[in-house]
Structure 1
Amino acid sequence: MSGFLQFIIRPPTNSGSLPGNVVCPQRVLKEHTMSGLILVSHNQCQRSTLTAVYEGILSRQGGLWISWDGESKVIPHDASRSYSAQQADQYETVTFSYTPGELNEGYHNYIHKGLWPVFHQRPDMARFSTSGYQEYKNINKAYARAICEHATPDDVIWIQDYHLLGCAAYIREEGLTNSVGIFLHQPFPAGRMFETIPEWRWFTDSLLCCDLIGFQTVQDMNNFLVWLESEFRLERLEAQSFRIHGRIIRVGVFPVGIDLDDVQCLRESNSCAYMEMQCRESLPENTVLSGGHLDESSGLPYRISTLEVLLRRHDCYQKNITLLQLAPPAAGHAHDASELGHALEALCGELNGVHGTMNWYPVNYLTHAYSREEQAGIYRASRVALVTPLMAGMSLMAKMYVALQDPKNPGVLILSQFAGAAEQMEGAIIVNPYDPDAMASAVHRALQMPLHERRSLHARLMKGLHMHNSHHWAGSFLRMISAEPAVPEVLPPPAFYPRLSSSRARY
């Protein structure tokens, strides 16, 4: 029996303290009374579409939000970690700092240079270390301690993403029997790619301590189930549940949506209006927005090649198009940002040198970060959005672009077939992000699209955004985890879920 599977097989005993260097802090909140939801995420201080989603959910639902505060502090070995509690309008927050080792080895190295490439189908770029793994565990222990200190028996604990894959195991080790769910915002790797993580067994054991495991897409869920059955003998129950060692675990697909109230606030802000005006005055009418962090999954070089193909094919775009390339560095990634940045700068410089003139250049390459309000203005001023990551769990940028458009004169969304959003955004032009020729054709089609067709596509997209907004996402997940699991007779694997050879099944 491996690792934390022992907690699946028999009830855990309360050991009184978590292993590692996290010492029980003085309780900062005796109990939270707003709701039975504890939302656990890696960062609530970084302003992003996703943090706005969390804020909107908690403002409506109430509850407790536990997260890192974005800071790094030296914590003496014999001192307790400091947890800071604050009261928001409708919910409470508990935050804490990472140690320098947790930030550098656990967060930047193990998470971003190890786990991130594997989850984005690039295990060849992954870099793992024993020290990084230890600090990653320390991060998860710190979260588990905060959860254990503030959870009441009826709370639902909702863990967010691969930063906290080990958290459920530590919660169960402390004896908590609460409903625990985890949602993976990143794509789940196909085949046996998950096993390229040296500690994959530990991660699997911890995942199986959850009651519900949520995914962005059907493909992600199937990747997980097919892989899991190749490693463990599962008793399939409903299409979305299985039993392992007497414990029922459910899985589900919950595509994350955006908060449309948040979009309305952005649209009405002065910064948005000013940035939109600046863009419209200084950029050509045919402005193509290309956004994404400066990381290995963004596919930014292919977008530069797309513009080069477009300019060669169509003379009408000479001096009448700009690819507005926004590429702020990601918060840690498999390769040095400067290496990626230099490569992209070289491509942009070459294209501008060949096709540009004294007073016009086709690529406007910007690496500094804009506020969310300023981004909204840029989105509104762009005729086309080229959102073509090589791999993405969802791509909330695509949804934000659509939601921010003027319905009377909307822009057109071009979306990668390998973004999770492509599974649900009917009305986008879907492309292969590795094919600049096909993407150039899509950009030309989008720029030449008549107004009535643009309005029709936008209306279809907005219908989907309203149906599957952030509150629908949270509500569907919380309803499923709160419902009693049905236990029907055992079902055979469905057609889409091929049974692999049982020779590798482990018990």
Structure 2
Amino acid sequence: MSRLVVVSNRVAPITEGEPTAGGLAAGVMDALRHSGGLWFGWSGQTVPDTLVPPDTLAPGLPPAVARSGPVTLYTTDLTQRDYDDYYRGFANGTLWPVLHYQTGLARFEHGEFEGYRRVNAHFARHLAALVAPDDVIWAHDYHLLCLAESLRAAGLRNRMGLFLHTPFPAPAVLTTVPVHAELVRALCQYDLVGFQTEGDRRAFADYIRHELGGEELPGGVLLAHGRRIRTGVYPIGVQVEALRAEAQAGEPESLAALRAGLGDRALIISVERLDYSKGLRQRFAAYERFLASHAAWHRRVEYVQIAPPSRSDVEAYQAIRRELEGEAGRINGRFAELDWMPLRYLNRGFPRRRLMPLYAAARVGLVTPLRDGMNLVAKEYVAAQDPQDPGVLVLSRFAGAARELDAALLVNPHDEAAVAAALDRALAMPLEERQERHTAMLRVMRRNSLERWRDRFEADLRDLESAAGAA
């Protein structure tokens, strides 16, 4: 079997003798170990621009940073200029907000787009020295929309696929990016493009048809720029049994401390990166509305919001952190009692082995992003629950997970009153209804597992002919 080559912005570390941290990383690493292969990406390190003049970024074999059996990890550094243009600039200053329908927060600079293409080309030059002719290349996410174009320019005819972890916006939203045509032309150099939901895939197909005059054929095949591009829907999942086992094992002392602090109060939990797409401002406002309109729950419930810092060198993220800290203090100031703090806001991360017992202990999982590709927190919360006495998931209809977890209480995160009412309903829901909803969601999650996501995408990519693409 030909090797699998995984390319992503960052590379998951290999720790000998220990499981790979994080479900996605574990799934990709399992695929690599099965067929043998390599994982390539940015090291996370930057070097001064003066040490790496642009004309010296010649192709070459980067040093391997780790090996485990048939899997090898390779990384490359970026210059500070590359990081500013590619990562802070176009990827997260332009693409991320637009992909999440936050066009008012997007900015665009032609120089940053050129930096984005420059880094994609830099990745491609290194990969050209690593990849064999029959290798299959699987790229991940919005950082690498132009990678296949650069690899094709370097002469590679390998099978290439991209899985987009974020949403793909409707054409009217994508076209707000001044270089949308260049981006989609580059994206069409992939043989297979995978999406989280049919809505995302349909948005891409609509762009091809209406903006490019392309054609859609049966089986999700699109014709554009003289190429045939296969598209598919691959909802990413979680390892259900492993997460439930972690929830049961847990850390007894920390769980005991939590239960002691809660007493007989019900726990509402949210765990999200500190990001404007996650709807944290709106969530705090909805919880305040819940406290104001449902006084019977005072002293009987606590809401814990865990929000690890994200992209803290970007001003928009600094601003939301300041705002949420202020809102948490204001809400507690309005409603707290000497023996009750209704909202606990923790601006730091926790290892998964500590989060799973927290999920299991929570009566309500509150997951209300404004827009999300999938949102694995929603699935992790469901997987962690005790099937005999499960909690209730309150989920944004704009998360990709809502297409599968329709037995959750689905809400519009922009509707504070509706979210407040859903919290009241979730907290009061009888056991039989909670069990029915949980069973229905588990059934879907076991069918669309992490392993099935990985295996389906890889199989579809390998099934393509090596010279696929000529229309």
Q: Could you list the runs of 5+ residues in structure 1 that have no partner in the other structure?
A: 1-33, 486-507
Q: Look up the SS of the partner of 2:425 in the other structure.
A: helix
Task: Identify the match of residue 173 of structure 2 among 172, 182, 193.
Answer: 193
Aligned to 1:154: 134
- Shift of the 110–79 alpha-carbon distance from structure 1 to 2, 3 Å rule, reads closer
Cα distance, 1:283–1:333 mapped onto 2, change above 3 Å: farther
Pick the aligned partner of 1:108 from 72, 84, 88: 88
Matched, 1:42 2:42: no
How far is 1:453 from its partner? Answer: 2.0
* AA in 2 matched with 1:440: A
Point out 4+ residue stretches in structure 1 off by more than 6 angstroms.
none
The corresponding residue for 2:413 is 433
Q: Contact between 2:250 and 2:357, CA under 8 Å: does it hold in 1?
A: no
What whole-Å deviation, never above 9, does each CA across 1:203-252 have from its counterpart, x for those lacking one? 11111111111111111111111122122222332141122354221111
Report the secondary structure of 1:70's partner residue: strand
Equivalence for 1:178: 158
Q: Is the aligned partner of 1:353 residue 2:333?
A: yes
Change (3 A) 1:353 1:464: same
- CA deviations over 1:395-430 (Å, ceiling 9, x no partner): 011011111122222211111000000011132111
Residue of structure 1 in register with 2:143 after alignment: 163
> Structure 1: how far apart are the matches of 2:111 and 2:361?
46
- Secondary structure of the equivalent of 2:278? coil
1:382 to 359, 362, 369: 362
**1:398, 1:133 → 2: CA distance?**
33
The equivalent of 1:51 in structure 2 is 25
Contact between 2:214 and 2:223, CA under 8 Å: does it hold in 1? yes
- What RMSD in Å do the two structures reach over aligned CA positions? 2.3
CA distance in 1, matches of 2:125, 2:239: 30
Task: Select the residue among 396, 400, 407 that pairs with 1:416.
Answer: 396
Of residues 40, 52, 62, the one that matches 1:76 is 52
C-alpha distance in structure 1 between counterparts of 2:289 and 2:90, whole Å: 38
Give 2:469's aligned residue: none
Query: 1:214 is matched by which residue type in structure 2?
Result: G
C-alpha deviations, 1:337-368, integer Å up to 9, x for none?
A: 33212222222222211211122111101101
- Per-residue Cα deviation, 1:263-309 (whole angstroms, up to 9, x for no partner): 256446554x4433332221253110122122211111222222222
CA contact (8 A) 2:57 2:122 kept: no
Task: Report 1:390-405 matches (<5 A).
Answer: 390-405=370-385
Q: How much has 1:83 moved relative to structure 2? A: 3.5
More deviation, 350-359/230-239 = 230-239
Alignment-derived partner of residue 500 in structure 1: none
Contact 2:266/2:363 (8 A) holds in 1:
yes
Residue ranges of structure 2 left out of the alignment (5+ in a row): 14-20, 466-471
Structure 2: distance between partners of 1:35 and 1:92: 15
- Say if 1:372 and 1:182 are closer, same or farther in 2 by CA, change over 3 A: same
1:258 to 226, 229, 238: 238
Specify the code of the residue in structure 2 equivalent to 1:111: A
- Deviations 1:366-393, CA, capped at 9 Å, x for gaps: 1012122222232122111100000001
Report if the CA contact (8 A) 2:90-2:116 is conserved: yes
Is the CA contact (8 Å cut-off) linking 2:247 and 2:359 kept in structure 1? Answer: no
The amino acid across from 1:43 in the alignment is R
Q: 1:455 to 1:413 in 2, by over 3 A?
A: same
| Amino acid in structure 1 at the alignment position of 2:29 | E
Question: 1:152 & 1:356 partners in 2: Cα distance?
Answer: 63
Matches within 5 A, 1:4-403: 35-45=2-12, 48-74=22-48, 75-77=51-53, 78=56, 82-244=62-224, 246-260=226-240, 262-263=242-243, 266-267=246-247, 271=251, 273-284=252-263, 285-331=265-311, 335-403=315-383
Q: How many residues align?
A: 451
**1:69 alignment partner, SS class:** strand
Q: Give how far 1:64 is off.
A: 1.7
CA contact 1:113–1:335 (8 Å) conserved in 2: no
How many Å separate the matches in 2 of 1:300 and 1:118? 18
CA contact 1:276–1:380 (8 Å) conserved in 2: no
Maintained 8 Å contact 2:28/2:454: no
Tell me the amino acid that sits aligned with residue 345 of structure 1. Answer: E
Find the aligned partners of 1:168 and 1:195 in 2 and give their Cα distance.
Answer: 21
